[in-house]
Amino acid sequence: MAPVLSFTPEGIYCPAGDFHIDPWRPVARAVITHGHADHARPGHGSYLATPQAAPVMRHRLGDIRIDTLAYGATRRIGAATLSLHPAGHLPGSAQVRVEVAGEVWVVSGDYKIEPDGLAEPFEPVPCHAFISECTFGLPVFRWRPQAEVMAAIDAWWAENRAAGRVSILGAYSLGKAQRLLAGIDAGAGPVLTHGAVEATNEVLRAQGYALPGTIRVTPETKPGDHPGALVLAPPAALGTPWARRFGPASAGFASGWMQLRGVRRRRGMDRGFVLSDHADWDGLNTAIRATGAERVFVTHGYTAVFRRWLESQGLDAGIVATEFGGEETEGEVA
């Protein structure tokens, strides 16, 4: 019997249901875990995602044929039974559960364990085989609780306000920016947004996600218009003329990569905040154990090291190669 899922040049494939999951080349039927650019690509014949993920996919990919499946609901596709379960990565993000003849495989997509108050919290899904991302699959990656990181950002912003500086915080425009907005003390001063961030805010607000009010930066925005503001912008906008319009400013960046000193230096940031929408080392291990899976395939990130670690823990572990991927690329496509 063919395995429930196989790894093809187009991406992860289910022969029993004739569909792909987060394929990177155009296919007829694509099941999509979430709207980040390395998972939801253009050119597929049809798309299936959660109702919460669909609006942002339409916003990014334009006029696509998209069908939705609510978290926990099942759909029969050929000889496969498919369902989607919260991944906790960003609003609407899903793990994909596929069952064929009693055998269950789960594709994690990107996930994080800590509830962030905005995304639907991660739910472990029992399975025989688990395909897990491992973007941060090294023991050096251990996150502080979100509340602590948000408090550090609030304190940095307060310090800048007191010194007459604007605070420019780099964050991916889908996911991280909204998580920050929901988690910081947004009432402490004006919060300005880059157009790419604000476009995503609007899509999520229209769906009912509670996000504090923000002011979109326009070509008319001048230094001194919003004293002491916090500006949320995609990382690519930092250090550009766009970012220099605000006058004296401190630049910060919120990412799991900020754990690495070298990355902080290269980015030329005044402040790095370690905040990731991916699971850290403990989160990955907790999630993998919670599935009860005997077979684990890893993808995205430190796959070779993480695979060896899982094998040392007695698991049957493999690697799924991807063409691109990783948090560095995410959210850069507005």
- Per CB under 5 A, 116 contacts Zn ion: no
- Per CB under 5 A, 36 contacts Zn ion: yes
Cβ 224 to Zn ion, closest distance in Å?
37
How many Å apart are CA 138 and CA 283, to the nearest integer?
A: 11
Which long-range contacts link 37-42 to residues 24+ away (Cβ below 8 Å)?
37/329, 37/330, 37/331, 37/332, 37/333, 38/322, 38/324, 38/325, 38/326, 38/329, 38/330, 39/109, 39/110
> CB under 5 A: which stretch of 4-12, 38-46, 231-239, 310-318 binds Zn ion?
38-46
Q: 5 near 131, Cβ under 8 Å?
A: yes
Pick 16 or 107: Cβ nearer Zn ion? 107
Pick 39 or 226: Cβ nearer Zn ion? 39
How many Å apart are CA 177 and CA 172, to the nearest integer?
A: 6
**Comparing C-alpha atoms, which of 235, 257, 34 is closest to residue 135?**
257
> CB under 5 A: which stretch of 1-9, 73-81, 110-118, 191-199 binds Zn ion?
110-118
- Say how many residues touch Zn ion, by CB under 5 A: 4
**Comparing C-alpha atoms, which of 136, 137, 108 is closest to residue 5?**
108
> CB under 5 A: which stretch of 79-87, 105-113, 213-221, 253-261 binds Zn ion?
105-113
Cβ 36 to Zn ion, closest distance in Å?
4
Interface residue with Zn ion among 11, 13, 97, 110 (CB under 5 A) is 110
> CB under 5 A: which stretch of 28-36, 118-126, 237-245, 266-274 binds Zn ion?
28-36
Pick 90 or 232: Cβ nearer Zn ion? 90
**Torsions phi, psi for 33 (to 5 deg):** -75, -40
Return the C-alpha torsion angle 113, 40, 50, 106, nearest 10: -50
Cβ 227 to Zn ion, closest distance in Å?
35
Cβ 135 to Zn ion, closest distance in Å?
7
Q: How many CB atoms lie within 10 A of CB 71?
A: 17
Give me the residues that bind Zn ion (CB under 5 A), please.
Answer: 36, 38, 110, 330
